[in-house]
Amino acid sequence: MLTKTSGITAQKRLLKEYKQLIKESPEGIVAYPTSDHNLFEWTCFLEGPKDTVYENGVYVATLKFPKDYPLSPPEMRFVPGSILHPNVYKDGLVCISILHQPGDDPNQYESAEERWSPVQSVEKILLSVMSMLNEPNIESGANIDACKLYRDYPKEYEQVIKQGIRKSLGLE
């Protein structure tokens, strides 16, 4: 059951995490509350990791936090259509273990330790997503078409990503 106290606790935690990101943001990551009046929705910019097919791309996403954060994970969604990745649904929703509800996986694919826990943070989420860009998990894909392209036609996959980057930069 949510209480007014849990929402205040979440706001305090989010403010603390935001201040930490301002002070020491990891390279290639910018994240902040979308509005001064709402700490529960953030805008994120992620640079494609160096030496990956995503290098030179800048990817925009949102984080939406539940009122009981950090007990429950936020939802992260890239701007729909802005990124092709095996672990990103076509609507932009990111599918990685760290963003799954805490506890045992009903499908028995992930261990409870891989899933969300209150010790996670915005920074850890964003670093996990950067790692995901570098190392897709095609065994548990969210976008089956991207999984097949990545697995069966890696050169074509890379071409699609590079074309998307050029388009997003206004070069096409």
pLDDT tens digits, one per residue of 82-131: 899 999 999 999 999 899 887 656 655 666 677 789 999 999 999 999 99
Tokens of 172: 């096409």
Rounded mean pLDDT, 65-93 = 95
pLDDT tens for 132-163 read 999 999 988 899 999 999 999 999 999 999 99
Catalytic (active-site) positions: 95
Q: What does the alpha-carbon distance between residue 74 and residue 113 come to, in Å, rounded to a whole number?
A: 17
User: CA-CA distances (angstroms) from residue 37 to 15, 41, 49, 63?
Assistant: 12, 10, 32, 15
Q: What is the pLDDT of residue 58?
A: 94
Question: Phi and psi for 38 in degrees, rounded to 5?
Answer: -145, 100
Nearest to 115 by CA among 95, 132, 89: 95
Angle at 84 between CA 78 and CA 90, to 5 degrees: 65
Per DSSP, what are the bridge partners of residue 78? Answer: 61
Contact between residue 58 and residue 45 where contact means Cβ atoms under 8 Å apart: yes
- The model carries a pTM of 0.88
Token code pair at residue 40: 């529960």
- Give bridge partners of residue 58 from the DSSP assignment: 47
CA atoms within 13 A on the CB side of 159: 5
In percent, how much of the chain has pLDDT > 90? Answer: 73
The average confidence (pLDDT) of the chain is: 89
Phi then psi for 88, rounded to 5 degrees? Answer: -130, 120
- Comparing CA positions, the residue from 18, 3, 29 lying closest to residue 121 is 18
Q: Specify the pLDDT at position 156.
A: 97
| Helix, strand, or coil (residue 143) | coil
